[in-house]
Structures are given as C-alpha cells and as structure tokens.
Amino acid sequence: MKSQIVTFLIKCPDQKGLVAKITSFFYDKGFNILSCQQYVNSIEDTYFMRVRLNADGTNISKSTLEHNFLELAKPLHFDWSVNYGGKKKNVAIMVSHTSHNLYDLLERSKEGRLDCNVKMIISNHEKLRPIAQMFEVPFYYLPVTKETKKVQETQVIELLEVNEIDLIIMARYMQILSSDFIKCYPEKIINIHHSFLPAFQGADPYNKAYERGVKLIGATAHYATVDLDEGPIIEQDVKPVTHESTPTTLKRIGADIEKLVLARAVKCHLNHQIIVSGNRAIVFPEAGE
C-alpha cells in the first residue's frame, strides 16, 4: 500500500479487550497508529472508535487489509468503514435564494479549508447563478412545483450520479426532499437549519423565535432523513440575543452562526469524524490532523 493516511470508523457492542485487539491488529500489519479516539455509550452499551493510521512501510493491499480486518470484525460484531484518503470527495450544493452559506462554502473550498471538489450548484431559482459564475462552478437551474417535484428530483439524481457526487449540502435549499430522494443518499445529505433544533422546526424559525422572546438564537447542521428536521445532529451553536432583537436582527445574527455551523459539519464529514448510531451522530474532534 502506498504512503497514505487510512481512517477506520468502528461501532460495536462494548466488550473487554477491544482496544488491545484492534491496535494489535494494525501493529501486526505494520501500520503506525497516528491517533486512536474512542467513546463508550454506557447507556446503550456501545463502543465507538476512530483510528487513523500511517501506511508508510506497509506492503498489504487494500483488499487483503479489508479481508483480514473482516476476520477480526465478524466475531466482535463490528459495524465499520475505512477510508484511504488521497481522493477528494465530490460535493454538490443545493440552494434557493439566500447566498451567505453558498459564498462561505465556496470560499472555504477555494482556499483549501474544505478538502473537497465542489462539482456543481443546483438551485430551483436563477438568483444565485452569478455567484456560481464568480467561482467558476457549474450551475444548474431546475425549477420545481408541487406537480413537477418527482420529475425535478429525477433530474437532480441524474446530475448527482453522472458527476459521482459523494456529499450533498443543502445550504438553505428551501424545498422538502422526498423520502425516495433521501433514501438514495443515506448519511450523505447535510442540511443547515436556521434554528437550534429541536426548537422551531419547519419554516420561518426566526419569526417564531421572536414571538417566543428567546434569549439565544442558533443554528443546527444535521443529516437529512425522511423525518423533517429530525436527522442526526452534527453541529450546533448559539449566540445570546435580547428583547430588543427584531426578526431582522435575529436573521442577521443567525446567518453568521449558520455559516460556521454548516462549515464545521461539512468538514467533520469530509474528515471522517462521524459515526451515526440510530438517530445520534458521534462526532470525534480533530486529532491533530
């Protein structure tokens, strides 16, 4: 195997000796363990591990590594995945009217702060095409109505498949994706919700927050599931506000929070820091990488 960073994500029932068995396996195969992060959910009796390996000096093939690891994994009931790095993920961004998340993602990608290839921008409106042109990213205008939703989503899926998209980012795409669409991309659609979920789900959360007189305004990035705004939460953040804050003020503050929360969530996904367990996302912090 050529010099590269290999990342394993592991979930299994908690049991004695897991760390020793896993680390010994990689040591015996000649890997240098760069970091080994673990978490035990004592309530559900479940063990989680993220281990990053340096493959320098190993001569094992990917297929042999995975076959051998499977022999360890089966009796211990591992649910696991492996990423070999080196290849940037292809990303599609879906938007409607608002531009702040789109600008931020494109800028971070261009500067190398998000390790991905933004292959396309898909929108149900023409308004943000100039931003795509500024960053030289293909823009696809696919309008949608209640009557054309199924046809439009079929067009979107065709674009995603042709361009081998690995991650879909809903950067304020103000349409509800169908369950059929979402089921095609499990744990591959990240949505930014302009509220601190589970509060103020659905549309127009800032007005709802104003009417409720909240003292904190926030944003939530989560994986999209068939249950609206209820998928595994990846990142959240809040800022304090006062009774003097208007809906316009809340939107302005919220936009800043949204950008940071969405960018952090996308980075965690690209960096293989997340293990989904049921409707919870276990998010490991960066380990010096």
Instruction: Tell me the longest C-alpha to C-alpha distance in the chain.
Output: 64
DSSP code of 130?
H
The enclosing H or E element of 124 equals none
Work out the burial of residue 201: count CB atoms within 10 Å of its CB; fewer than 13 is exposed, 13-18 middle, 19 or more buried.
middle
Helices (runs of H) and strands (runs of E) counted in the chain: 8, 13
Our answer to whether residue 229 is catalytic in this structure is yes
232 DSSP 8-state letter: P
Q: d(Cα 238, Cα 81) in Å, to the nearest integer? A: 32
What gap in Å lies between CA 204 and CA 219, rounded to an integer? 13
Phi/psi for 17 (5° steps) reads 80, 5
Cα 223 from Cα 160, distance rounded (Å) = 17
Catalytic member of 115, 166, 229, 237: 229
Beta partners for 81?
9
Phi and psi of 274, rounded to 5°?
Answer: -120, 135
Answer for the pair 86, 102: CB distance below 8 angstroms, yes or no.
no
d(CA 170, CA 262): 9
Locate 184 and state its tokens: 């095609």
The catalytic site residues sit at: 229
